[in-house]
Structure 1
Amino acid sequence: MILLIFAGLAVFGFAVPLGAAVSTSRTQQLWFSRYVDAEWFAKLASHAMATGDRQYLDAELQRYLRLYGERVLVVDAGGVVYANTGVDADDPEMVGILAEARSNRYSTRPPQRLLTWDPETMLIARPIGVGMDLEGAVLVEASARRAQQDIADRWSLIAVAAWTSLALCTGLALVLSRWILRPLGRLSRAVGALTETLPRSDVPTPPTSMTQRYGGPPEIRDLAESFDTMAQTVSDSVESQRQLVADTAHAIRNPLAALSIRLEALHAVIPAKAEKSFRRASSQVDRLAAILDGLLRLAVAETPDGFNPVHAEVDWPSRCNLGKILVEQVEAWEAAYERAGMSLSANTLPKSVVVAAPEDAMVQILDVVLSNSCRYAGEGARTWVSGWAEPEWATISVFDNGVGVAEDEIDKLATRFFRGRSALPGGSGLGLPIAAALAQRYQGRLTVTAAIPHGLHVAIRLPMAR
């Protein structure tokens, strides 16, 4: 529709001025030709009035009437008819035009344009004489029928060309619009089909109408509505999965707690030869509880905070002072590093460094990274914690010169349940995945790379608070 509107405006914007130009040109052509004839008759009339011989003037008037079928009226300075080939000399319009011509006040400019519904005659007057020495006036009653017919024919040709062009533009617009909108239609149907395959939430949510909030072509509105529906379904699915993890964790936690209590109660009656098996069973229960807690934290970390498909911008949930948290966490872990035979040092960040993430999330991320470094870097290793701020981002770097990990395992450290060959027993393989998910949840990123010459480097990059 938009293409058709622009095509129509372009075609008619060209056709209308062209039609007006054709009418003006034909009108001027008729007027100038008859005005030249009026000048010729004025010269003949002036000579006849001066010599008294009007024979040649009358002959020319009759020949002009036979040739063009147009009548001519000649009057003297007093307005008395001097020669006439059929003009109604008593017509008030004729009298007025001749009076203006005799007083040299008649306009010598052609009319703007002749239209097909105008009168079929055009009156053209010319004074006889020059300056103040006027001897009379000549009036030519020109026929405008042929000029009007020429104008009508050219207008018809322009109209046919305009409608033909509009029809071609319409066909081209239909082909072009179908070519443009065909992928949108396929994408909308594909999104709808994908939405149907997604799991639905048990809690009904009211449908969101994109067409009431946005304008535009119907195909674009349909696609927007499909995406909005899919986003709402994905949001419901994410919430359902989070709720499933929470319910599962709650359902399993109670039996695990009961099993742990029963194992503790059985500890006193376990024979010596079964002590080793009992301790392994107890450690497996503890490890299962740790994995369960890690899965729950990971599910919460991977859930988008305040997810809403209607809003186009991220509504930052909270903020925290990164420099303050960095100092507190380093102080909290210094004792653990000393017991492990390692050293921990950090630089300080200004208090103005505020990131768009809640304090508990930052504490959890730093706990995971510092805990891994303290546990796996090895005795005698040193860990440096540094931070710096940019106009839009803040970065925390945790670098140690410990034993590091194998080169082929670095990219897998943030994978769920992955444990490297040098990993100590008792871990769940969910620490770094939780930290990475928390950083990503707040539009940040956690990366793990090898340190040079040996060790590990973990960088956490988060957006500055607005």
Structure 2
Amino acid sequence: MASTTRTQQLWLGRYVDAEWFGELAEQAMATGDRQPLVAAMERYHDLYEDAVLVVDAGGAEFANIGVDTGDPAVADAVAAARSNRHSTGFPHRLRTWDPDSLMIARPIGSGMQVEGAVLIETSTVQAKRDITDRWALMTLGMWTALALFAGLALALSRWVLRPLERLSQSVATLTDTLPNPVSGPPPTSIMRQYDGPPEVRELARSFDAMAMAVADAVEAQRQLVADTAHAIRNPLAALAIRLESLKPVIPDQSAHTFRRASSQVDRLAAVLDGLLRLAVAETPEGFRPVPHDSDWPSCCDAVRVVADRVEAWGVAFERAGMDVAAVVPDGEVEVAAPEDALMQILDVLLSNSCRYAGAGARTEVRVHGGTRWVTVSVIDDGVGVAEPELDKLTTRFYRGSSATPGGSGLGLPIAAALAQRHQGELTVGLTVPQGLHITVRLPARAS
């Protein structure tokens, strides 16, 4: 743009000058006095250092200041102007390698009557220097702006990535404090999926190492609970056998104490079994490999599972003087959870209702299917619990004030852990006027 503008400015200025010399030459040819024309040409040459040539209609030199008439290019330009053709050899834009001088020629006269020609040989050195200076200035400005924006971008990127660096350091520090930290390169799947600045890659590696360490810690915790439960169960079973063998020789006055000791042994065995099931339930599903040949997680029909468990618990409810029923929709309601997990959850909820709702209570198990979630509700009109105790019922070893003796306080925590493990949730509420309403929400297969 700068080159084109400067070139057009030079061409237009010299073309206007050529018209002016044409008018002076026309007057000089009419009067025969060349002195005003020659004086103007000399002043012009002194001012711009450009050469000027004027010829008459026959091509003879009329006035000349600095033009080499022996140059073939000059002869061609003059001949074209005498043929009433204006100069067309001027470039659209000047470049640094173009000639240092260019010619502009135009005819003298008006209309079709040509009385001669004017030629101006102008220097392009200053124009090319101006163009070079403008390009240099523009280049300097561009590089300055580029450096400025690059500096701002660098400062902004460092400001944005600084929290990532600190987070990566915190994650690495946290990973070092976990038991059995995982060392070595991160899994290749992470490196294939994520790329970018070093801070992001480092954060991905640190997070991956932490995830693996957490997985190992969770597995170690579960294994510790399982090993502890198994290790204690054998001596506990031996103790129960020994107590049973002592039963015939226990005096009558000590029978009550013996029965209490036996019941405590049984309760301890139930607690160990509950801890073992809770450890398995609390193992995150994400740490377990998903079969490659399965497009869906393990699914089951909630309607069928509910009907099966209600039928299985019917006898226990009947013996307790209670009523249990399944309120389910027609057809299948697919839930994205394994059948054994849903069965364990229902067994816990139906067991609690059978144990604590009280004689004469009615329990309903309802299934509601949606596009994203499947809701299974266990509702009874029994004695219920006090409202302040609702949030504590899913706490380990917590037993409500109205609970009957014999429980371990691990049933609802196990059910809640199973629901959470399969991306669901368990909530406990009250029914009106009395009773308990426990809702389990699990993802629907369609979601």
- Tell whether the structures are fold-level matches, with TM greater than 0.5: yes
Alignment of 1:183-198 (within 5 A): 183-198=163-178
Q: Which moved more, 1:105-114 or 1:282-291?
A: 105-114
CA distance in 2, matches of 1:440, 1:405: 23
Q: Which moved more, 1:84-93 or 1:101-110?
A: 101-110
1:289 is matched with which residue? 269
Q: Does 1:45 align with 2:30?
A: no
Q: Which moved more, 1:436-445 or 1:57-66?
A: 57-66
Match of 1:232 among 183, 206, 212: 212
Question: Compared with structure 1, are the counterparts of its residues 310 and 124 closer, same or farther at alpha carbon in structure 2 (3 Å cutoff)?
Answer: farther
Letter of the 2:430 counterpart: A
Q: Does 1:265 align with 2:265?
A: no
- List per-residue Cα deviations over 1:370-399 (Å, max 9, x = no partner): 111111111111112212111111101111
Match of 2:36 among 56, 59, 63: 56
Q: How big is the shift at 1:348?
A: 1.8
Q: Does 1:208 align with 2:205?
A: no
2:336 is matched with which residue? 356
Retained in 2: the 8 A contact 1:77–1:137?
A: yes
Retained in 1: the 8 A contact 2:374–2:442?
A: yes
Alignment of 1:18-167 (within 5 A): 21-106=1-86, 111-167=91-147
Question: Compared with structure 1, are the counterparts of its residues 300 and 78 closer, same or farther at alpha carbon in structure 2 (3 Å cutoff)?
Answer: farther
| SS of residue paired to 1:448 | strand
Q: Which moved more, 1:161-170 or 1:377-386?
A: 161-170
Match of 1:331 among 303, 311, 314: 311
Q: How big is the shift at 1:181?
A: 1.8
- List per-residue Cα deviations over 1:65-91 (Å, max 9, x = no partner): 222221012234454433321212232
Q: How big is the shift at 1:449?
A: 0.8
Q: Which moved more, 1:243-252 or 1:46-55?
A: 46-55
Q: How big is the shift at 1:175?
A: 2.7
Retained in 1: the 8 A contact 2:85–2:106?
A: no
Letter of the 2:280 counterpart: V
Retained in 2: the 8 A contact 1:46–1:135?
A: yes
2:362 is matched with which residue? 382
- List per-residue Cα deviations over 1:177-228 (Å, max 9, x = no partner): 2222221111110010000001117x98863254454221111111111111
Q: Which moved more, 1:153-162 or 1:297-306?
A: 153-162
Match of 1:436 among 412, 416, 419: 416
Letter of the 2:172 counterpart: G
Uncovered stretches (5+) of structure 2, i.e. residues with no partner: none
Letter of the 2:362 counterpart: R
CA distance in 1, matches of 2:58, 2:307: 116
2:378 is matched with which residue? 398
| SS of residue paired to 1:255 | helix
Q: How big is the shift at 1:262?
A: 1.9
Q: How big is the shift at 1:426?
A: 1.1
CA distance in 2, matches of 1:404, 1:164: 76
Match of 1:300 among 266, 269, 280: 280
Retained in 2: the 8 A contact 1:417–1:430?
A: yes
| SS of residue paired to 2:385 | coil
Retained in 2: the 8 A contact 1:128–1:138?
A: yes
Letter of the 1:207 counterpart: P
Aligned residues: 443
CA distance in 2, matches of 1:396, 1:41: 104
Match of 1:409 among 378, 389, 414: 389
- List per-residue Cα deviations over 1:297-333 (Å, max 9, x = no partner): 111111112426999xx98530001111111111222
| SS of residue paired to 1:30 | helix
Retained in 1: the 8 A contact 2:186–2:205?
A: no
| SS of residue paired to 1:115 | coil
Retained in 2: the 8 A contact 1:306–1:317?
A: no
CA distance in 2, matches of 1:289, 1:413: 21
Q: Which moved more, 1:285-294 or 1:162-171?
A: 162-171
Uncovered stretches (5+) of structure 1, i.e. residues with no partner: 1-20
CA distance in 2, matches of 1:428, 1:108: 105
| SS of residue paired to 2:43 | helix
Provide the identity percentage: 63
Q: Which moved more, 1:225-234 or 1:149-158?
A: 149-158
